[in-house]
Amino acid sequence: MERYAPSKIDLASRDVVSRSMAIEIREGRGCGPKKDHVYLELHHLPREELEKKLAGIMETARTFAGVDLTKEPIPVCPTVHYNMGGIPTLWTGEVVYPRDGDDNTIVPGLLAAGEAACASVHGANRLGANSLLDIIVFGRSCANTVIFNLNKEGTSQPELPARAGEESVATMDRIMHNNGDIPMAALRAKMKDSMQANASVFRDHEDFKHVQVHDKSRIWNQNLTETLEFRNLLVNSLLTVKSALERKESRGAHSREDFKERDDINWMKHTMAWFNESGEVDLTYREVHSWTLTNDVKPIPPQDRVY
């Protein structure tokens, strides 16, 4: 870490540490047969201190990596810790669907909060502990919206159609009984390697047509559950990669080697991405909420994180 954050070293922020790990791996200094990870050494610390302060990490390393961290280094690699995007919402928790030139067109009766939502408070790099603050503040805001707004408005939803849910059941059956020849785990590993390398484009869903679900039971079918989750991961991979390719700058956790500087003139905005019925990703953009809801607190402009 001396190479990347000489003053903070191991105490640098998570995005800096993750980016440093990724650079080491990409430049061929990774570890293991695939050279796809680095080692985290803790065995120079006394066993008593590790057991007292890092008991959970000791258990995780032993369970998932077969490593005794009092004697061996832990294999680690960068991964997704938190999604700073999400369903676009107002501070009230009400979901918005930008259209006809209005970024804040409300979807009646639909609310979201926490990591699933984007209320435009985290920017491109959430600060530590703000995820808990996020769900407390906006969870309460959603409750207030339901109590003081929606109940008074008497908002009602249309009746469900007679065949509601049948399409979802048919999709599940189609996947379960698909005549494929590639286990889901193999396809998921391929997607993981592709995204882990440098978020390279997973161009289409052709591979999913070959997916094979071994377990045909309808009780506690983990194989089917993981296959359905994998399908969602494919969609999210496409949305992530397309959004990142179009954003020609580096900002917070979004880092590009070909566009290393932040560009507030052209890219101070949220990316809005949809996966349409033809299998393409549609993009539009939404204004960043850079103002506060009170005169007691002034807006804080973006700043570079430097060491």
**Residue whose tokens read 């800096």:** 16
* Contacts for 130 with CB less than 8 Å, ≥ 6 apart: 121, 122
Catalytic residue, candidates 3, 14, 163, 188: 14
Distance CA 4, CA 305 (A): 13
What separation in angstroms does the CA of 261 have from each of 167, 249, 251, 270, 286? 46, 6, 8, 17, 21
Neighbours of 177 (CB within 10 A): 10
Query: Are the C-beta atoms of 175 and 213 separated by less than 8 Å?
Result: yes
> Tokens standing for 293?
């809801």
Say which DSSP state 294 is in: S
Is there a catalytic annotation at residue 14? yes
* Contacts for 231 with CB less than 8 Å, ≥ 6 apart: 175, 208
Which residues are catalytic, by number?
14
